[in-house]
Chain A
Amino acid sequence: MTLLPKALLIVAALGLAACNNPDRYKNGNAANGANTGVGTAIDTNGLGDPSNPRSIAYFNQSVGDRVLFPVDQSTLTAEARGVLAGQASWLATNGDYAIIIEGHADEQGTREYNLALGARRAASVQDYLISQGVSAGRMRTISYGKERPIEVCSDEACYSKNRRAVTVLSMGTGA
């Protein structure tokens, strides 16, 4: 913690206030009936220095923040379990971080089914992290279905990257 620059601490504090709203994809400020006043588009990604092994940047890049899934599957592959075991052990020594697990699907499916499929994927990851000793109280899941692909081509090269569960960290409400 002491290594974190002051600006990051401020961001993290704001992140604490905004931790009810994990939506990294929000756009602009809310100003309509559908918004309950909670979200004001505060991004909690104070990434820190990737060479700092306790930073989010380090987690994302060196531990690996995501696992991929075969088509229409939510079962973890052996490779995915390896990544998640690494995440679990990192999270055990970095207990200050709160965890949102995002589940995503590729575009080869209907919207509502893909929401359900994304939720299944996020739950698979959460269950595995719990089995590896990560406290359930630190984690929440959210599904984006096919709403937030990272790659936009319409072939398997992109689809395989979009069928993912991403472990998103924020400072504040960890164990």
Chain B
Amino acid sequence: MSLKSFPCAGHCDPLKSQGQSRPYKSPLKNEAKMTPTKLLTAALMFGLSGFIAAPAQAELTLPPFTEGVIEPMPFAVPDFIDEGGANGLAADIARVVAADLAGTGLFIETPKDAYISRVTSFDAPISYPDWQAINTQALITGAVQAGGDRIVVKFRLFDVTTGQPQGEGLQFAGTPGSWRRMAHKVADAVYSRITGEGPYFDSRVVYVSESGPKNQRQKRLGVMDYDGANVKYLTDSSSIVLAPRFSPSGDRILFTSYASGFPAIYLMDVGSLKTRNLGEVPGTMTFAPRFSPDGNTVVFSLEKGGNSDIYSMDIGSGSMTQLTNAPSIETSPSFSPDGSKIVFESDRSGTQQIYMMGAGGGEGERISNGKGRYSTPVWSPRGDMIAFTKQNEGRFHIGAMLTDGTEERLLTASFLDEGPTWAPNGRVIMFTREGAGAGGQAGLMSVDVSGRNLKTIPTDGPASDPSWSPMLP
């Protein structure tokens, strides 16, 4: 995980060479030759302690995301330079950048009081020895200019060890109200350059905000930045609302509501909050909706006479197609990113298991193989993995496996974990964790697909059912 550990044969341009993304399928098979179970165990045992010595090579990048043990890379983000009118924003933006990076667990901030050098101008030369002396490895400098209804944020990333800029400086412009988004974009660029992974900080999460005791729980839809900031409520608590899901373009939300008295699926426009019932059929319940990758179709469960099957609906015309036809419970459908397949859960075998079928429907093929019950499958946006909830021996787990059901790994364990959702880069999973008993509240947590960096997402009260947006435009 340190800058030294990247196995770059010969000469790598320290800061640029890390842009290639690494396909997910291989990591479990190469590198340390660990089985998923061993890998996870190692991650859990050693956490971020950097217990395993990094290979002695001199390059600036992070090892593959899936490696079990990492040593966080030290970085410094001095307050951005106020180039006019920025006021407190110059410091605020630097703080958000630092929080994004440190929050991944892959980076650790070098404390400000250790700084020897001051960055006084965005274009001034960097005094690398001053940063090398305090053992930081990545230096991020930036500047903010504000005027009228516009702010401009620019940044540069430097590899302190080699004394080189890493990649080009970038500039973002927007309204003052979007300053956090610009900070996230800076952090995304830094994260991507160093890890080789796609970005995910500049994204939102729609979720259910909860209040009241367990037997009278009130629920409303909320949407927030991925880190819990900028909360906005989309409904009040007058009806139970469940399991919202973002559209692939982030402009609409599907959810289940009891607004009519009976559970049914609704479609909301995020901008206008205009909401419509997607054609409630009397005597039936519709639930568990999800968009197709093109955003034009919704797959969902429809229950009639006690039996739930999976249907699809063309959002424009409202025409429905039945995709499964079995006396068992079929629910929680999720499309592959290319739209060709649907993964879903069914209890046709006697317990909940995960199946895959073509987008046109059919019986499907079972892909979950381990002990226990498997549910809520969600296809990774990268297409390489399926996240799920697993129940076994009285515990709940969030897990991930390859799309053929192999290489299953459990990332969490608790009294009640459920409902995974993927970050836009397919490397981080957010989910609901609920405590036991009358005082047990629900909250949001995230974990890397490696099993590392389990953490709580700050929300302004109990929360559940997160759904991660795509990257914002």
Contacts and interface: CB of A to CB of B under 8 A. Distances in A.
Interface of A: 20-23, 25-36, 38-39, 41, 72, 74, 107-113, 115-117, 119-124, 126-127, 140-144, 147-154
22 contacts: A20-B261, A26-B238, A26-B258, A27-B237, A27-B238, A31-B236, A32-B234, A32-B236, A35-B235, A35-B239, A36-B277, A38-B259, A109-B391, A110-B352, A110-B375, A111-B242, A112-B243, A112-B288, A115-B256, A115-B263, A119-B285, A153-B437
Contacts of A41: 238
Nearest to B332: A112
B415 to A, nearest CB: 7
B35 interface: no
Given A112-B301, A119-B303, A142-B262, A107 B215 contact: no
Given A30-B238, A110-B389, A148 B215 contact: yes
B259 A25 contact: no
A101 to B, nearest CB: 10
A28 B259 contact: no
Given A112-B301, A149-B214, 5 more contacts: A31-B236, A32-B238, A35-B238, A113-B375, A126-B306
Contacts of B237: 27-28
Contacts of B415: 154
Nearest to B309: A116
Contact of B215 (A121, A141, A152): A152
B257 A111 contact: no
Contacts of A147: 217, 240, 242
A166 B312 CA distance: 31
Contact of B259 (A36, A127, A153): A36
Contact of B329 (A113, A140, A144, A150): A113
Nearest to A40: B238
Contact of B221 (A20, A34, A115, A154): A34
Contact of B239 (A30, A122, A140, A149): A30
A105 to B, nearest CB: 12
Contacts of B436: 154
Interface string B219-243: 0010000000000001111111111
Contact of A119 (B216, B308, B345): B308
Contacts of B257: 34
A144 B332 CA distance: 17
A124 to B, nearest CB: 7
Contact of B465 (A74, A111, A115): A111
Secondary structure call for the A interface: loop
A76 to B, nearest CB: 12
Interface string B243-274: 10000000000011111111100101000011
- 3 residue pairs, one from A and one from B, having the closest CB atoms: A123-B306, A21-B261, A154-B436
Contacts of B238: 26-32, 35, 39, 41
B322 to A, nearest CB: 16
A148 B303 CA distance: 19
A12 to B, nearest CB: 17
A34 B234 CA distance: 9
Nearest to B303: A119
Nearest to B388: A110
Interface string B279-305: 000010101100000000000010101
B275 A39 contact: no
Among A23, A32, A74, A151, chain B packs the most CB atoms within 10 A around the CB of A32
B17 interface: no
A30 B261 contact: no
A116 to B, nearest CB: 4
Contacts of A108: 391
Contacts of B217: 147-148
A39 B259 contact: yes
A74 B303 CA distance: 15
Contacts of B214: 149, 152
Contact of B305 (A31, A111, A123, A142): A123
B402 interface: no
B68 interface: no
Given A36-B259, A36-B277, A149-B214, A113 B235 contact: no
Nearest to B269: A33
